[in-house]
Chains A and B, each alone.
Chain A
Amino acid sequence: SQTIHQWPATLVQPVGSPLSLECTVEGTSNPNLYWYRQAAGRGLQLLFYSVGIGQISSEVPQNLSASRPQDRQFILSSKKLLLSDSGFYLCAWSLGTGGMTGNTIYFGEGSWLTVV
Chain B
Amino acid sequence: GQNIDQPTEMTATEGAIVQINCTYQTSGFNGLFWYQQHAGEAPTFLSYNVLDGLEEKGRFSSFLSRSKGYSYLLLKELQMKDSASYLCAARNNAGNMLTFGGGTRLMVKP
Where the two chains meet, the residues of A that have a C-beta atom closer than 8 Å to any C-beta of B are 32, 34, 36, 42-46, 49, 51, 90, 94, 98, 100-110
By beta carbon, the residue of chain B nearest A105 is B98
Residues of chain B at the chain A interface (Cβ within 8 Å): 31, 33, 41-45, 48, 50, 87, 89, 91, 95-103
Q: A43-B87, A43-B101, A44-B87 known; A98 and B45 CB under 8 Å?
A: no
- Is the CB–CB distance between A100 and B97 below 8 Å? no
Cα(A46)–Cα(B87), bound, Å? 14
Task: A45-B100, A107-B43 given; name 15 further pairs at CB < 8 Å.
Answer: A32-B96, A36-B100, A42-B103, A43-B101, A43-B103, A44-B89, A44-B100, A46-B97, A46-B98, A46-B99, A101-B48, A104-B33, A106-B45, A107-B42, A108-B42
In whole angstroms, what is the CA distance A98 to B93 when docked? 11
